[in-house]
Structure 1
Amino acid sequence: MDPNYKARKEAFVSNLMGSSIWEINSVTLVASTSVLLWSALQSRLSFFTPDGPAALVTDFLLNVLAILFATTAYSSAPLLLNIFLASPALFLLLNQPRPRAQKAKPPRKAAQDDSSQDPTALPVHPFLTTYRAAMMIVTCVAILAVDFRVFPRRFAKVENWGTSLMDLGVGSFVFSAGVVSARAVLKSRRSQSPGRALPARLIGSARHSIPLLVLGLIRLYSVKGLDYAEHVTEYGVHWNFFFTLGLLPPFVELFDSLTALIPSYEVLALGVAVLYQVALESTDLKGYILVSPRGPDFLSKNREGIFSFLGYFAIFLAGRGVGIRIMPRGTSPSKSPQQARKSLLVSLALQIAFWSILFYFNSTYAMGYGANIIVSRRLANMPYVLWVSAFNSAQLFLFCLTETVFFPTVHRATTKEDEAERTTFATSRILRAFNRGGLGIFLVANLLTGAVNLAIPTLDVNTPQAMAILVAYAAVLTAIALGMDKANIKLAL
């Protein structure tokens, strides 16, 4: 890469200040309002059943391109885009009755012997699929869009202090991984066999870690070998986000034995965040990470990635805590599916309140009672952990509420076949594909991002050209996701 252009690229993503949480919430709300409109079209008109070309294009426009445009062309008016998406959804909700086909089906006689009747079995939650897929799409869009001028600088990662869309995306990726990791914990708790020993659990976690660590090494050597522009203060000289993701599972297994003493993962997450923040404030650790000269040793060269791992570890634990609360079926002889769904929504609302109140007191003066600590993604400090946890709990609540309003019978399935039919009807084909192929799609997105940057001087591309490239990139990723889904290739993160 030309040295002058490389310096311009590095300057383009350096010393940024971010944007307000209000603006970030307005932009990310587009994912929720897109799903709102998709759900209205599907539940009231069965628009996406059968799945023809028109349905697929509309699905792509709503769940992929709407997010792309929210972060680029509509970045200065995200509320307007939200209104455009929400208005027809509300019109359909208020004026179009639900088709008869969506009424609850009576249970079959054979259902009594079906394992899906077991209230301890873990159900399929379409809203969880939607949440993870939307997060993946936002991430994939941003990692390439950030290299073009059409993507506002305030959405790119901040240098030291502040909040931005991409800072939130990194933490959300980890939180999402924590949520789905709860499935293995719940299955282990409910099995009749004794819990596996620590060495066996570590070996099992390595199956998830090794692919990510290998991807981290590939990224490291490709960036260095191709002389690719990089922002060293993001994670360090050698560290990258794949290493952080890859090291989380074994560390969580080592830490998991503490749940015998402290059964709440939220409390464990808070404990890790508090101890890390105390170390930042009461020692020289904060100055060492932010301003200390880089020495020759590995720790000094990669201090951002190594120490911020503690913050991401806390986020992962917080995500696992939420996952353990939302994944079970929740029904019992005394609790109907409707009551279980209400309990789920209440649980998510309490999660939002818990993390939001803590964030308010941690990041502001809060009428003289707050700590007023500024968010730092580079440090992954305590307010960053609380912000990410509050935001993702809110996202899950919105997707769950949308599913409950438009598909009220999806969680009342009486058999496995019935559950599969209802969840398929209530889930976007594209979002399901992005969720199932998450790891593979994320890898392809990184490869395409590198290829585009090596082939095109992204800083010198005008807005129409940039949007054409980004739309084509989004279409290619979507086609790959759909192809993997059709071939039944599952590489979920």
Structure 2
Amino acid sequence: MSRAAEAAMTASYKSLKEDFVSNLAGGSIAEINYVTAVAPIALILWAALQSRLKFFKPYTPLAFAVDFLLNVGAILLATTLYSHNPLLLNALILAPVAIVYALPIVPPAKKAKLPPSKSASDGERQNPLPKKPFLTIYRGAMMAITSIAILAVDFQIFPRRFAKVETWGTSLMDVGVGSFVFSAGVVAARPLLKEKLAGKTTPLTTRLFRSVRHSAPLLVLGFIRLYTVKGLDYAEHVTEYGVHWNFFFTLGLLPPFVAFFQSAFQVIPSYAALGIILCSAYQITLEFTNLKAFVLTGPREDLLSKNREGIFSFIGYLSIFLVGQSTGMIVIPRSLSKATSGPAQRKRLLLTLGAWSTVWILLFVATSSYSYGLSLSVSRRLANLPYFFWTCAFNSSQITAFCLVETLFFPQVYKSVDAKSENETYELSTPRVFGAFNRNGLAIFLAANILTGLINLTVPTLHMSGVQAMAILFTYASVLTGLAIGLDLCDISIKL
């Protein structure tokens, strides 16, 4: 790049920085928290119905309808009709809980007691990495709100402040993108924990081969999306990821890079610390070099400059993924310590999750506060340090909230003494809708993208009235949920 071009780029960036107030977009973090709180709030009502009345067992058509309305419909309403007053929606959902508790409790079915020897034998065979309802619910809720938002954003009934911001600011969809990566990191901790339990260490070459094999389908989807978007002249924002880059490329390239960082784990035995160090180094580079100016205002001349947003924001997303892995190392194992079990173990888990949530919140305040911090602005486009801390704080808090609801309403989950009862309590305390969304998450996300494209190509979404928009969105959500439930009923898991 010539000195004249570099000077022009720097001047352009300074002008952009001076106009920061006019560039700030999106909604407040408090409002985003109120909207996303609908998932834990709706779960409270679902849990009350299930724990007191066994409403969702058996899973009848009526049970499915209520499950859908509480766990998917409520999210849709919070982001559309009740977007200006999410607290009212939360209060309306929470109000019936008192009525449910006023009704007579349905007594549990009597079970024949197993001989002590058999019970102990079953207990020994308990999975050290069991399925946990609150983790399934967290991932299912994240997938549901993401699938809804990618279509709802095309209608006027979806507030513009919830859509992705151009450069600076916070919005619902901005935190949704980071949450998708964080969630993927949580799940990625499971194979690492299996290796740890087996006392094995996988060679770097083997890890790379496995990661490339896992990445291949996502990269293929990325090229398919690139071809369809360009071929159909579908509306896109170049400043989101660049000219050719898209989110599937980001997801697809994460596993190979994480494979390298597993080697660094031998030196710094904390994925959270690795994530902080990596993103801090990236932020320092943004602040003390021309990288920030290049990403925001540089010319698009070659492949790198044309896709600079996707390429450089990848560093921030990789950092988020590493913290997700760190969280997975905490929440996936049966216990954090061999010395504790049952109620004591669950208490320790809640305290650990609460402590990490507090740490991420404080770090976010330290980097973004104008009065007490570094006065850095959140930028999903850059995936910078404040965005990194915000995403980690949001997801850690969400997981903590879901874990707390499970602990209060379904204590039998962490009190199970054998594998059979553990599986039964998992089914009892997990909404079927969220379980289905979690089971085939990427397949449902792909279906959501396809349906979103078809609807936009056939319907003038921006000109739809509120009633028409809600009818389309509820139909779309019903189709996706029906697809997820159908795959689950047929015991089909599609791995991408």
Q: TM-score, normalised by structure 2?
A: 0.92
Distance across 2 between alignment mates of 1:128 and 1:492: 19
User: CA offsets, 1:303-336, max 9 Å, x none?
Assistant: 0000000000000001111110111111766423
Aligned residue for 2:393?
390
Asked whether 1:18 is paired with 2:31, we answer: no
Question: Does the 8 Å contact 1:104/1:409 carry over to 2?
Answer: no
The letter of the residue matching 2:494 is L
Aligned residue for 1:204?
210
| Aligned partner of 2:370 among 340, 365, 368 | 365
| Aligned partner of 1:325 among 321, 330, 337 | 330
Aligned residue for 2:231?
225
Asked whether 1:33 is paired with 2:37, we answer: no
Question: Does the 8 Å contact 2:367/2:376 carry over to 1?
Answer: yes
Aligned residue for 2:445?
442
| Aligned partner of 1:339 among 341, 344, 358 | 344
Question: Does the 8 Å contact 2:218/2:251 carry over to 1?
Answer: yes
Distance across 2 between alignment mates of 1:347 and 1:152: 36
Instruction: Tell me the secondary structure at the aligned position of residue 397 of structure 2.
Output: helix
**Offset at residue 351 of structure 1 (A):** 0.8
Asked whether 1:403 is paired with 2:410, we answer: no
Aligned residue for 2:5?
none
In the TM superposition, 1:116-155 aligns within 5 A as 117=124, 121-155=128-162
Asked whether 1:67 is paired with 2:67, we answer: no
Aligned residue for 2:430?
427
For structure 1, which segment, 403-412 or 133-142, has the greater mean C-alpha deviation from structure 2 after superposition?
403-412
Question: Does the 8 Å contact 1:133/1:435 carry over to 2?
Answer: yes
Distance across 2 between alignment mates of 1:254 and 1:280: 23
What RMSD in Å do the two structures reach over aligned CA positions? 2.0
User: CA offsets, 1:107-166, max 9 Å, x none?
Assistant: 85323333x536771111000000000000000000000000010000000000000000
Aligned residue for 1:175?
182
Distance across 2 between alignment mates of 1:104 and 1:70: 45
Summarize the Cα distance change of 1:348–1:228 in structure 2 as closer, same or farther, 3 Å threshold: same
Distance across 2 between alignment mates of 1:45 and 1:302: 54
In the TM superposition, 1:72-111 aligns within 5 A as 72-93=80-101, 99-101=107-109, 108-111=116-119
| Aligned partner of 1:250 among 256, 270, 282 | 256
Instruction: Tell me the secondary structure at the aligned position of residue 158 of structure 1.
Output: coil
In the TM superposition, 1:243-392 aligns within 5 A as 243-295=249-301, 297-330=302-335, 334-367=339-372, 370-392=373-395
The letter of the residue matching 2:418 is T
Distance across 2 between alignment mates of 1:103 and 1:358: 50
Distance across 2 between alignment mates of 1:107 and 1:211: 49
User: CA offsets, 1:449-492, max 9 Å, x none?
Assistant: 00000001111111111110000000000111011111222136
Aligned residue for 1:455?
458
**Offset at residue 420 of structure 1 (A):** 1.0
**Offset at residue 429 of structure 1 (A):** 0.9
Question: Does the 8 Å contact 1:104/1:412 carry over to 2?
Answer: no
- Could you list the runs of 5+ residues in structure 1 that have no partner in the other structure? 1-14
Asked whether 1:486 is paired with 2:480, we answer: no
Stretches of 4+ aligned residues off by more than 3 angstroms: 90-108, 331-334
Question: Does the 8 Å contact 1:107/1:414 carry over to 2?
Answer: no
The letter of the residue matching 2:162 is F
**Offset at residue 413 of structure 1 (A):** 1.7
Distance across 2 between alignment mates of 1:16 and 1:189: 45
**Offset at residue 196 of structure 1 (A):** 1.4
Summarize the Cα distance change of 1:102–1:122 in structure 2 as closer, same or farther, 3 Å threshold: farther
The letter of the residue matching 1:145 is A
Summarize the Cα distance change of 1:489–1:78 in structure 2 as closer, same or farther, 3 Å threshold: same
**Offset at residue 269 of structure 1 (A):** 0.7
User: CA offsets, 1:287-311, max 9 Å, x none?
Assistant: 000011111x110000000000000
Distance across 1 between alignment mates of 2:419 and 2:127: 14
Summarize the Cα distance change of 1:178–1:53 in structure 2 as closer, same or farther, 3 Å threshold: same
Distance across 1 between alignment mates of 2:113 and 2:388: 43
Summarize the Cα distance change of 1:156–1:469 in structure 2 as closer, same or farther, 3 Å threshold: same
Summarize the Cα distance change of 1:491–1:366 in structure 2 as closer, same or farther, 3 Å threshold: farther
Aligned residue for 2:15?
none
Asked whether 1:189 is paired with 2:196, we answer: yes
The alignment-based identity, stated in percent, is 56
Summarize the Cα distance change of 1:412–1:161 in structure 2 as closer, same or farther, 3 Å threshold: same
Distance across 1 between alignment mates of 2:408 and 2:106: 11
Instruction: Tell me the secondary structure at the aligned position of residue 430 of structure 2.
Output: coil
Question: Does the 8 Å contact 1:32/1:398 carry over to 2?
Answer: yes
**Offset at residue 95 of structure 1 (A):** 7.0
Instruction: Tell me the secondary structure at the aligned position of residue 169 of structure 2.
Output: coil
User: CA offsets, 1:56-113, max 9 Å, x none?
Assistant: 1000100111100100011011000000111222554577657445999878532333
Summarize the Cα distance change of 1:294–1:47 in structure 2 as closer, same or farther, 3 Å threshold: same
Instruction: Tell me the secondary structure at the aligned position of residue 491 of structure 2.
Output: coil
Distance across 1 between alignment mates of 2:295 and 2:312: 8
Question: Does the 8 Å contact 1:201/1:253 carry over to 2?
Answer: yes
Distance across 1 between alignment mates of 2:388 and 2:110: 40
Question: Does the 8 Å contact 1:20/1:163 carry over to 2?
Answer: yes
The letter of the residue matching 1:394 is S
Distance across 2 between alignment mates of 1:267 and 1:477: 38
Distance across 2 between alignment mates of 1:79 and 1:125: 29
Aligned residue for 2:244?
238
**Offset at residue 418 of structure 1 (A):** 1.3
Distance across 1 between alignment mates of 2:336 and 2:476: 43
Aligned residue for 1:49?
57
Summarize the Cα distance change of 1:107–1:68 in structure 2 as closer, same or farther, 3 Å threshold: farther
Distance across 2 between alignment mates of 1:208 and 1:490: 15
Summarize the Cα distance change of 1:191–1:459 in structure 2 as closer, same or farther, 3 Å threshold: same
Distance across 2 between alignment mates of 1:137 and 1:125: 18
Distance across 1 between alignment mates of 2:114 and 2:364: 46
Distance across 1 between alignment mates of 2:267 and 2:32: 37
Aligned residue for 1:10?
none
Instruction: Tell me the secondary structure at the aligned position of residue 201 of structure 1.
Output: helix
**Offset at residue 207 of structure 1 (A):** 2.9
For structure 1, which segment, 332-341 or 232-241, has the greater mean C-alpha deviation from structure 2 after superposition?
332-341
